[in-house]
Chains A and B, each alone.
Chain A
Amino acid sequence: MTAVLPPRRTGLAPLLLPLLAGGLVMVALGVYGRAHTPTGFAIGPAGFSGAQPMKAWLTTGAFLLAFVQVVSALSMWGKIGVRIPGAVHRWSGRLAFLLTVPVAFHCLYALGFQYDVPRVLIHSLLGCFFYGVFTAKMLALPRKGLPGWTLPVLGSLVFTALVGLWLTSSFWFFTVIGVQV
């Protein structure tokens, strides 16, 4: 708290590190997904009939929380005239992120990065992109002197990626395979 306030100057420089780290995460996940021989098996949360329903439902949980994220973010920026405590945004985001981890783990460890059908290709790319942007956003959050649009843009990208991920996985699963637990 004794730190001297930096000059009120915004620039792209403070964004460099978060974006670089996010980019590295994206590439690393993709390379891992490709290089690692898929095991076809991974440990995950119990209580589901199989890995796919588990993933479909956890992703749906994160997907719903993502809407909480957007609404609470809009509130934070004073766009909807309702004050939602900041903790709602933080905790719904954390929960959503944690819900995606077992899903992504299964994807990458058991299945790997695949591109034999468009849905799977899009899903694989979005999955890597999602964690990259999420990392960038987390690293950008505590930094000062960022352009004002940084968090809204990164947040929107995270949200968009998650919606895309949900559409190419859970939505596909529920409509093609069927709604099952």
Chain B
Amino acid sequence: MSKLGPFVTLAVGVVLAGGLGVASVAANPGAREAAGTAEVVQPPAEATSSATPAENPAGNTSPPSTKPAPVRADYAGRVEGTRALIAVSIRGAKAIGYFCDGRTEAWFLGKVAGGQVELEGFGGAKLTAALGGGRAAGEVAVGGKKWDFTAPTVKKPSGLYRATAIVRGAKIKASWIYLRNPNGDGFTQVGTAFVGEQKVEPPALTPGSPVTINGGQVEAEDVDGFIEEMS
């Protein structure tokens, strides 16, 4: 065996990674502003007419190889004209949404198609949004009312959390949206908690730490932790 073989193998790997790096930087110099764990979402084709070239100084050239797809993205923001927060998370073709103002809450489930989500909730609740440009923008209808919202991509610890457990024989269910304040100073959260059918005051969430509900410790999971059981 050539003594150089292993070095060549390593070198080729390094060169390949370097090439991908150069190509990535060249293809998307603005991506550093795109939020953390969120995939860059390909804007739907019909949206290109409304996007001015000035928004994309790099030119609207599509990247040479992989086209970014909404594989994994987390959006969260405020619902205009309410005290509610809204969160939409995309995992593969699945999408999950949550609306909560502390009193009213609604979960939404559905699929992503063509940069759009149309999610259904219970009792006619509906969430539709277009994904792209680093945000989900759309409409949410809950309890016969309808609001517009724009939710930018967020990164951890901002996002959607849910805790379910049986504590002292009671089924515990709690949900939160945790959102970094726009000025970057601290976090806003809104949530609900239930012990059985009984609504209780939701404990303050600190992502990564368990919360105490009904005298028991419950782990709050992020979307990756609960999307499977919900969809």
* Residues in A lying within 8 Å of B, measured CB to CB: 37-46, 48-54, 86, 90, 93-94, 97-98, 101-102, 104-105, 109-112, 114, 116-117, 119-120, 135, 137-139, 141-142, 173, 176-178, 180
A65 to B141, CA, bound (A): 50
In the complex, the answer to whether B71 meets A45 with C-beta atoms within 8 Å is no
In the complex, the answer to whether A90 meets B1 with C-beta atoms within 8 Å is yes
Indicate which residue in A54, A101, A117, A142 contacts B224 across the interface (CB closer than 8 Å). Answer: A117
In the complex, the answer to whether B156 meets A51 with C-beta atoms within 8 Å is no
With a cutoff of 8 Å between Cβ atoms, the chain A residues found around residue B222 in the complex are 116-117
In the complex, the answer to whether A120 meets B224 with C-beta atoms within 8 Å is yes
Q: A50-B70, A109-B21, A178-B92 are in contact. Are A40 and B12 (CB under 8 A)?
A: no
In the complex, the answer to whether A177 meets B3 with C-beta atoms within 8 Å is no
- Nearest-neighbour CB distance to chain B for A164, whole angstroms, equals 18
B85 interfacial by beta-carbon distance below 8 Å: no
A153 to B7, CA, bound (A): 20
B39 interfacial by beta-carbon distance below 8 Å: yes
With a cutoff of 8 Å between Cβ atoms, the chain A residues found around residue B93 in the complex are 177-178, 180
In the complex, the answer to whether B34 meets A176 with C-beta atoms within 8 Å is no
Q: A45-B66, A101-B20 are in contact. Are A38 and B37 (CB under 8 A)?
A: yes
With a cutoff of 8 Å between Cβ atoms, the chain A residues found around residue B67 in the complex are 46, 50
Max chain B Cβ within 10 angstroms of own Cβ: one of A42, A45, A180? A42
Excluding A142-B7, A176-B91, 14 further A-B contacts by CB distance (< 8 Å) are A38-B155, A40-B36, A40-B37, A40-B40, A42-B20, A43-B24, A50-B39, A90-B5, A94-B9, A101-B20, A116-B222, A137-B6, A139-B10, A141-B6
The number of chain B residues touching the other chain, given as a range, is 35 or more
* Residues in B lying within 8 Å of A, measured CB to CB: 1, 3-7, 9-10, 12-13, 16-17, 20-21, 23-24, 27-28, 31-32, 34-40, 63-72, 91-94, 153, 155-157, 207-208, 221-222, 224-225, 227-228
A142 to B1, CA, bound (A): 9
In the complex, the answer to whether B24 meets A176 with C-beta atoms within 8 Å is no
A90 to B91, CA, bound (A): 37
A118 to B187, CA, bound (A): 24
Max chain A Cβ within 10 angstroms of own Cβ: one of B6, B27, B37, B93? B6
A178 to B39, CA, bound (A): 18
